Structure formats: C-alpha cells, structure tokens
Structure 1
C-alpha cells in the first residue's frame, strides 16, 4: 500500500471518526448523564457494532447496499427510526438528570453502527478510494480496517470523556437539558441527512 494512500486514508478516517455523529453524540450524552465508567458496556457495544460495519465494508457489504438502492433505502429508514428512538431516550435523560439511572445496554450500543447508513458510505469510501489496485487487496483492507477500528475507539472514548467533563463542571440543569436536547437533535439530523442523499 503506497504511503500516500495510507496517509490520506488515515486522514479521511480520522475526520469521519472524530466529527459529530450518532455514536459520538450518544456517548457525549451518556457520559454527561451517568459517566463513561458506568457506560462501559454501552461503549463496548458501540465498538463491536462498529467492528461489524468495518468488516462488512471491507467484505463489500457497503458497496452492495449502494448497488441495491431499495435495500439501502430500507436501511436508511430502519436506521433513522432507531436513531430517533435512541435520541429520544437520551434527550429525556436530561444530561445528568435522574431520568437515566441505568446506562444503555451493550446490545443498544451494538445496534448503533449497523443501522447508520453513513457508516456504510464511509466504509465504501475507505475500501475503494484508498486501496491500490497494484497491490493485493487483503493486506490493504486489514490495515485500513485496523485504522478504522482504532480511530473509532479513540473518538468514541474521547466524546464520552467530554460528556464526563460536562457532568463534572456544569451544574445548571437547564444547561444540561439544553445540551441533551441539542445533542439528540444533532443525532437525528446527522442520520436524517442520509435519507436525502
């Protein structure tokens, strides 16, 4: 794999991993509500779900979804419904309010990435644009998949720690509620935008 392709791929993956999206915003919300330490099963679930999408993308599932517009449209609507449900749950938690006494489960975390259409689009880009046709596919796919996994794990952890910082330093419940509703709305908007693409 040429160094230039690897560097550009890493930059693209980092940009996609660290910008706001459903997983990052949900971890911000959960971290602020109950602390990242109590939400570790949810975080691990998000990682497992992310790994599923990465492997599926490397195996061509993302490209298959894009080649079958009806299946991709169904995924978009199912994903949008799931994200709306999760956003509603997190918005009701109120960022530190008493409504969220129990962290979202491991399985709720697992379900987050596989229903996010943007995750498949990202994988299609990674495993097509940054792979050299002059070298064997598998070693390149493994390197890119590891980059995707490590950067996704770093990003979700940092967003969760950001939520912890909010919980520790912001005590005004009105501000906490506004941040919770804002983060939840951004989750819905980020996936809702995929419905029109």
Structure 2
C-alpha cells in the first residue's frame, strides 16, 4: 500500500472546497466557536459513519453504485443550489446563522454531500482493502481518515474565524463568492459538464 498516495488523496479531498467546507467557512464568520464546533463534530461523526458503512457494505454498494451515483448527483446538486441560495442571502444579524450551526445540521449535511459519498465509497476500498482484511486495521483507517476530515473542517472554521472582520466588512461579496463556489460544485456534481 502506498501510504503517501493514500494520505495525499485524503488531504486533497478533505481540505479542498466542497459543500461542507464552504458551509463551515460561512458559518464561522457568523457564529460563535461553540456553535461552529458542534457543526464540525456533527460533520465529522457523519463522515466517520459513512466511512464505516462503506467498509461494511462495499461489495453490495459496488453492484448498485450506478443507481446510487445518479440519485446522489441529483439530490446533491439540488441541495448545493439550495445551500448556495442560503449562503447568498445570509445576514450577520439574526438567529438563523446560529441555528444553522448545530450538530444535527453538520451531521445531515454529510449525507447530502456527494463529494463525501464518493470519497467514502472509494478511499478504503481502493487504498486499504486490497492490502488489509483485518476489521481492526480497517477501523484504524476509518478513525485516521475521520481525524483528517475533522482537521480539514477545523481549518476552514479557523480561517472563517480569523478573517471574521474582513468577511463581515465584505459580507455581500463574500456571500456571493461562497454561493458561487457552491453553484460551481453543484454544476460539477450534476455531470452537466461531462
């Protein structure tokens, strides 16, 4: 097993912009640390669950993968467009930003995030399972990858918090850019450009 390639893949997928990371960045400049942390914990918990399910159900999912991918592309694209709209109209004042930063919202975001579905369905079966069959070793990899994702989410929250003043000063432009990135993600996931 090429550990370097595996880690590079994990870091690139978890640290690059995606629906969860962009949502965390947006939430970070509107919410308190405690709220952001709850959201990150929810996102990380769901991420770990999806990885574990991928390990347990890999053979079954492989046979129905095309059906899941089409469904996830449609749902994921629509959800990302909805999220883009929410980010675009987000306001610094009011309670809506605090309500969005909950454990449950972070948790549920992962189940509607096709980037996470595709990653969790491919990373362990592609990189780990050809070399390791032990349940304990597979669990270790699930934990390691989940920690990498948690660090990625935390990094996005950190930058959202550090640049809070800048993001508030240029809120409309920031919201437009973040919403644009989500629309771009939705277009990519939809398969329209292929």
TM-score (norm 1): 0.83
Q: Give me the whole-angstrom Cα distance separating, in 2, the residues matched to 1:168 and 1:62.
A: 48
Separation of aligned partners in 1, 2:59 and 2:19 = 18
State whether residues 80 and 191 of structure 1, in contact with CA within 8 Å, keep that contact through their aligned partners in structure 2: yes
Q: Select which of 89, 96, 102 maps to 2:98.
A: 102
Does the aligned pair in 2 maintain the 1:83–1:112 contact within 8 Å? no
Counterpart contact for 1:62–1:123, Cα < 8 Å = no
Give the 3 Å change call, closer, same or farther, for CA 154–66 of structure 1 in structure 2.
farther
What CA distance in whole angstroms lies between the structure 2 residues aligned with 1:70 and 1:17? 25
- 1:90 match: secondary structure: helix
Task: Point out where structure 1 has 5 or more consecutive residues left out of the alignment.
Answer: none
Return 29-38 or 97-106, whichever deviates more: 97-106
- Gap change, CA 1:32 and 1:134, over 3 Å in 2: closer
CA 1:63 to 1:28, structure 2 compared with 1: closer, same or farther past 3 Å?
farther
Aligned partners of 1:86 and 1:113: how far apart in 2? 13
- Is 1:18 the counterpart of 2:37? The answer is no
Unaligned runs of 5+ in 2: none
Residue 29 of structure 1 contacts residue 90 of structure 1 at CA under 8 Å; is this kept in 2? yes
3-state DSSP of counterpart to 2:179: helix
Distance 2:187 2:134 in 1: 33
1:32–1:163 CA contact under 8 A, matched in 2 = yes
Structure 2 match to 1:46: 43
1:114 Cα deviation after fit: 1.3
Normalising by structure 2, we get a TM-score of 0.84
- Quote how far apart the aligned CAs of 1:53 are: 1.6
Does residue 150 of the first structure (1) align with residue 147 of the second (2)?
yes
**Structure 2 counterparts to residues 172-183 of structure 1, below 5 A:** 172=169, 175-183=170-178
Count of residue pairs brought into register by the alignment: 190
Pairwise CA distance, 1:65: 6.4
Deviation of the 1:13 alpha carbon: 0.4
Shift in Å at residue 136 of structure 1? 2.2
- Counterparts of 1:149-168 in structure 2, within 5 Å, are 149-168=146-165
